[in-house]
Amino acid sequence: ASPLDGEVYDGYTVTASYFPAGLQRQYSKGSAVFKQPKGVRDAWELVARLSNMDATSDTQGTETTSYTLGTNYYYSSKVKFMANAIYSEVSGPGAASLVGNEDNGLGFTGRIQYLF
């Protein structure tokens, strides 16, 4: 009875990272994640990410695409500094209701991580 019955929504994220010093991440099959390099200290990591989420139907919903460029600095094996520049675009039949005339934007983020 709902116009959204039978709709399929999808999304994806593709991430690439590179350590100029040649460090590598180990993949954990049990956790399905890439682990932080062991004993990493005073190291830089360059990161690029493409993310997309399509939640549109014929009459409503939005699609968002984000492009991220970032860098991580590993001060020690417990402390990491992260900075990202993110450019996002919004489109679809519901975009105007969600964001008005602003259908793209640029943002910057910074974080500090401490592992216990």
Q: Report pLDDT digits (tens) over 41-67.
A: 999 999 999 999 998 877 778 889 999
* Closest to 77 measured CA to CA, from 28, 32, 109, 43: 43
In this predicted structure, what is the pLDDT of residue 9? 84
pLDDT at 16 over 80: yes
8 pLDDT more than 70: yes
CA 95/CA 66 separation, integer angstroms: 15
Segments making up each domain of the chain, as ranges: 10-114
Higher-confidence position of 30 and 99: 30
Element (H, E) at 97: helix 95-99
Residue 22: predicted pLDDT? 87
